[in-house]
Chain A
């Protein structure tokens, strides 16, 4: 079953607005990561938040983590057309005898100029 699932699947906003994406997961984690992917390119790591952290900032990005609800959110403030991309959360999971990162299906964000 999917460890991390992003919500919504797609989001369309106007430039300057804030964008919020959510990620829910099922099992206990040590950390949760967010990545961005521009169309047809590789993923780019944005931010890592550890299980003992509640909030983390990086530039216009704000990530929160609620381990009691097993959920995280990524907020992009003052969005720009260049923020148009797919955003993925990834959680560490112990499966099949090894630890690994498990990625969700992603949220496709479109920022209209």
Chain B
């Protein structure tokens, strides 16, 4: 256990569905991240929140919408996704943006 939990662990959704991924960290960290990991591609940083403010948005399509209601919780709202969005979505947290990051187990998303 890394102190970072993610739900659900697996998600299958159609292209017209709306769903949300949830991440929670119990480490008292100030920064939280969403990453996308596709087969044979480097880990892609999607969003960074520091002290509940979004400090990074790596040209992510608007069909992905992050929300950070407090320093312990991070959501990724999904709507009208495409099959190429199927991937492992990883949440992480750290004390600051360049310290060691603690990752959740990931959500395996399949878009049909």
CB-CB < 8 A to B32: which residues of A? none
**What total of chain B residues lie within 8 Å of the partner, measured CB to CB?**
23
The chain A residue sitting closest to B57, CB to CB, is: A96
Distance between A87 CB and nearest chain B CB, rounded to angstroms: 13
Interfacial chain B residues near A30, Cβ < 8 Å = 98
Of A31, A90, A98, A102, the residue contacting B48 (CB under 8 A) is A98
With an 8 A cutoff between CB atoms, is A44 at the interface? yes
A-chain residues with CB within 8 Å of residue B4 when the two chains form the complex = 42
Identity of the chain A residue whose Cβ is nearest the Cβ of B40 in the assembled complex: A105
How many contacts A-B (CB < 8 Å)?
56
Q: Is the CB of B42 within 8 A of A40?
A: no
Q: Specify which chain B residues have a CB less than 8 angstroms from the CB of A90 in the assembled complex.
A: 101
Q: Does A42 lie within 8 Å of B100, measured CB to CB?
A: no
A contact patch SS: strand
Question: Nearest Cβ in chain B — how far from A12, in angstroms?
Answer: 18
Q: Are B2 and A101 within 8 A (Cβ)?
A: no
Q: Which of B14-22, B62-70, B76-84, B102-110 contacts A (4 or more CB under 8 A)?
A: B102-110
Q: Kindly identify which residue among A40, A88, A99 contacts B108, using a CB–CB cutoff of 8 Å.
A: A40
Are B42's CB and A44's CB within 8 A? no
Is A42 a contact partner of B48 (Cβ separation < 8 A)? no
A-B contact pairs, 30 of them (CB 8 A): A30-B98, A31-B98, A40-B106, A41-B106, A42-B4, A42-B6, A42-B92, A42-B105, A42-B106, A43-B90, A43-B101, A43-B103, A45-B100, A45-B102, A48-B100, A88-B43, A92-B98, A100-B45, A100-B48, A100-B97, A100-B98, A101-B45, A101-B97, A101-B98, A101-B101, A103-B42, A104-B42, A105-B41, A105-B42, A106-B42
